[in-house]
Amino acid sequence: MTDKHRQSHKIITEKECLDIMDKFLDSQDDPKLGIFWYDPRDQELFGVSKSYRDEVKGTTIKTLHKTVWVKKINRRKNKGLPPGRWAGNYTDIPRGRVFYINNEFVVKTGSWISDYPEAKQLIIEEFDLPENVKFETEIHWEIGQGYEH
């Protein structure tokens, strides 16, 4: 190792290391914003993309469902795999988005959420949302709907 290389690395004490780890642990459960799909057969979320609220400019992350969907299909195709749960159109699967609007967390989905009440708790847990989070339904999030439909 060169002297220049040694100078660029700071050696920290065990206490400093533990303090840094504590900060990360403290923030792990902070609420997040993002997108998801819900697989009713497996009763699980998938395709989740999320960021801590304080890292997001605006009311939600910029990532679009359509973009994630296309990337997942292309990755599977490049590996010689069938599309699996990524088959079809991204709007054909129950999906939603977590927002932070007027100082409260809001999960927007289609009316499909009333058919799968277990999905609410999965969303709350995945995004570390408070129990009093609002769930709202909007036409955009209905199965088969999207901005281009």
The reported pLDDT for the residue numbered 124 is 98
Is 149 inside any structural domain? no
Is 75 inside any structural domain? yes
Is 96 inside any structural domain? yes
The reported pLDDT for the residue numbered 83 is 94
Residue partners of 133: CB distance under 8 A and separation at least 6: 104, 105, 106, 107, 124
Residues 62-75 as b or e (16 or more Cβ within 10 Å = b)? eeebeebbeebbee
Is 40 inside any structural domain? yes
In order along its 149 residues, the chain shows pLDDT tens digits of 455 545 556 787 877 766 666 555 544 679 999 999 999 999 999 999 999 999 999 999 999 999 999 999 999 999 999 999 999 999 999 999 999 999 999 999 999 999 999 999 999 999 999 999 999 999 999 999 987 64
Residue partners of 115: CB distance under 8 A and separation at least 6: 40
The reported pLDDT for the residue numbered 149 is 47
The reported pLDDT for the residue numbered 20 is 63
For residue 83, what are its two tokens?
């599309």
Chain length of the chain: 149
What is the reported pTM?
A: 0.80
Is 21 inside any structural domain? no
The parent domain of residue 109 ranges over 31-141
Is 19 inside any structural domain? no
